[in-house]
Amino acid sequence: MRKIVYILLCMISFGLGVVFDGLITRVPDEASTLSKMQILERELKKYCALNGQLPKTIDELCKFSPCVENCRTNSWGKPIRYVVTSDSQVVLVTSADGEVEFVRRFVAGDDGKTEFKPLTPRQLFEMPVENLDRVDIGRMNIICARNVTRTELVDTAKYVAKLDEWAAIAKRLEQKYLPAYEKNAARYDHSLAKFKAVTLALTIQQDLKCDYNMDLIKSGAMNDMLSPRFFKNVEDVFITGLLKRGKGTCSSIPVLFVALGRRLHYPVYLAHTKGHLYCRWDDGQENFNIEVTGRGVDTPPDSHYKGPPFNPSEDDIKNEGMLRNLTNRESLAVFLSTSAVNQDANGEYDLAAVLYNLALRLHPTPVHLAQRDRATRIAMSRKPLK
């Protein structure tokens, strides 16, 4: 009897040992697998936030985020798969030796309002064009400056953070001067919108110390509108110059105004006439032009931008989209064209042709087409014959 009991105890002990040994090895495997699925969820959400859509394959996600490479399989060597349900949920699925399934569900999409935050030219230019309206216009301008800067690698995040700081200053000053508007609204044609626009423009000039680079005027670079000399220094034509040294031109000061205004939730846009950028306020009920490049601020009528020194033809106005609100897509085309002229002015015709072509794809206009073809011809003429 004792012998039988002893044998039974040994068998139970051995069985429990196997069970506990299995549990001891299984728990870390489960924890590791769940950790990998968490990493996949995090990186899928990042990818979707930037691109507005999920990657088509895990390979595509790995290119975007190399850390995902180690998360292709679970701790048992089985693949971790993801599928998208009809209600836009993402489901991560994997299994342990074909037995226990691990499932993780989440929503990687957005509500159509999430701001996309590219940091590099490649991230911006590879973004679906329908998502450009959800990119900060200041960020786009900074990235285009980075694309052409040779002497300095522009830190996009640093400059965007400075825009946020300046917007906070502008908001405080708007609140400071609001009682003055309420006491004398007639000064602003009884328009709160005009008060806000004028206050922001004066804040840029007087408090943020940003104004026109008068050295360009003294140099004579502005005398010939067909000359690229005006665009030779990247700091003069992108808002990085204003954020760094407080100097800019009509290519950058209106962009700064719109970038700050949108941070204050103003319905402001870029607009352009021949050889000149300016701003517009348009909330669907009240709309007016805003001239912020000179000393002070003005709200001139459209006729001002049809006359000298601009003098656009009716074909120019129609074909180039002048004297109206520019979409973000069209604004990016303007920035790319500015980048291209900068390269043109510095003899980089190959790159200028590429940038003109990008602008042409976003906003096909006769001017962009002519500029691209000209830069291409010059670039080809300078290549030695084989």
pLDDT (tens digit, 9 = 90+) per residue, 231-259? 889 999 999 999 999 999 999 999 999 99
Last residue within a domain, chosen from 107, 140, 171: 107
* Residue 41 lies in domain: 30-107
| Number of other CB atoms surrounding residue 262 within 10 Å | 17
- The pLDDT score that the predictor gives to residue 209 is 96
- Clarify whether residues 93 and 127 are in a common domain: no
With residue 84 as reference, give the H or E element that holds it.
Answer: strand 81-84
Q: Helix 156-183 vs helix 137-148: angle between axes, to the nearest 10 degrees?
A: 140
Give the separation between CA 150 and CA 235, rounded to whole angstroms. Answer: 11
- The pLDDT score that the predictor gives to residue 1 is 53
The reply to whether 35 falls in a domain is yes
- The pLDDT score that the predictor gives to residue 225 is 57
For 117, the 3-state DSSP assignment is coil
The reply to whether 10 falls in a domain is no
Domain count, the chain: 2
Give the C-alpha distances (Å, rounded to integers) separating 168 from 104, 179, 227, 260.
40, 19, 38, 9
For 267, the 3-state DSSP assignment is coil
The reply to whether 83 falls in a domain is yes
| Number of other CB atoms surrounding residue 366 within 10 Å | 11
Interior CA angle at 121 toward 117 and 123, to 5°? 50
- Clarify whether residues 356 and 297 are in a common domain: yes
Give the C-alpha distances (Å, rounded to integers) separating 80 from 68, 73, 75, 96.
11, 5, 10, 11
- Clarify whether residues 90 and 227 are in a common domain: no
**β-pairing, 268-273 with 276-282?**
antiparallel
- The pLDDT score that the predictor gives to residue 26 is 42
- Clarify whether residues 137 and 240 are in a common domain: yes
- Clarify whether residues 77 and 200 are in a common domain: no
- The pLDDT score that the predictor gives to residue 385 is 44
Q: Is the CB of residue 278 less than 8 Å from the CB of residue 291?
A: yes
- Clarify whether residues 206 and 82 are in a common domain: no
- Clarify whether residues 94 and 224 are in a common domain: no
Ranges of beta strands (E only) in 108-243 are 211-212
Residue-by-residue pLDDT tens, the chain, 386 positions: 544 444 444 444 444 343 333 333 444 677 788 888 888 888 888 888 777 778 878 888 888 888 888 888 888 888 888 887 655 567 888 887 656 677 777 766 655 666 888 888 878 887 778 889 989 999 999 999 975 544 445 688 899 999 999 999 999 999 999 999 999 999 999 999 999 999 999 999 999 999 999 888 787 776 765 567 788 899 999 999 999 999 999 999 999 999 999 999 999 999 999 999 999 999 999 999 999 998 899 999 999 999 999 999 999 999 999 999 999 999 999 999 999 999 888 888 888 888 998 999 899 998 888 888 888 888 787 655 44
- Clarify whether residues 269 and 244 are in a common domain: yes
| Dihedral pair phi/psi, residue 289, rounded to 5° | -80, 155
The reply to whether 356 falls in a domain is yes
The reply to whether 13 falls in a domain is no
Q: How many helices (H) and strands (E) does the chain have?
A: 15, 8
Would you say the pTM of this structure is higher than 0.75? Answer: no
